[in-house]
Amino acid sequence: MQISNAESVVMEQLWRDAPLSAEQIVANLADAREWQEATVKTLLNRLLKKGAVSATKDGRRYLYSPCFQRADYVASQSEDLLGRLFGGRLAPLVMHFSERRKLSKRDISDLKKLIGKL
């Protein structure tokens, strides 16, 4: 499932605090985004059509919840990225990032720990 950048902002809210109404999402994003309620409702409708969220009637409003866990989405997208760009291999991905931008000492330490565990 492909989720746009704008849709992912809404999904992050739902993964963090579901169920939420469109009004609650607008309020939560007020400092970071200047989205109107209509924009959020459009994004929610797109996500509904994709099967990414579900809606439950609550009086005169709807409460939205994600249909899958964030960890499952991240795993799926990570595997897709590795497959499309790096032939399914992790080492070329790490090499790419290490060549394009400098890895911090913490990044290197975390990678060493990960390799040690493996």
- For residue 33, the enclosing domain spans 5-66
Closest CA to 2 of 56, 81, 65: 81
Tell me how far apart the alpha carbons of residues 25 and 44 are, in angstroms, rounded to a whole number.
10
Q: What DSSP character marks residue 52?
A: S
Q: Domain tally for the chain?
A: 2
Residue 3 C-alpha from the chain's centroid: 8
**Structure confidence at residue 59 (pLDDT):** 96
pLDDT averaged over every residue in the chain? 93
Tell me: do 90 and 111 sit in the same domain.
yes
Tell me: do 94 and 112 sit in the same domain.
yes
Question: What digits encode the pLDDT tens for the residues 23-80?
Answer: 999 999 988 888 899 999 999 999 999 999 999 999 999 999 999 999 999 999 999 9
**Structure confidence at residue 103 (pLDDT):** 81
Tell me how far apart the alpha carbons of residues 64 and 25 are, in angstroms, rounded to a whole number.
10
Instruction: Assign residue 109 the CATH number of its domain.
Output: 1.10.4040
- Greater confidence (102 vs 65) lies with 65
Neighbours of 23 (CB within 10 A): 12
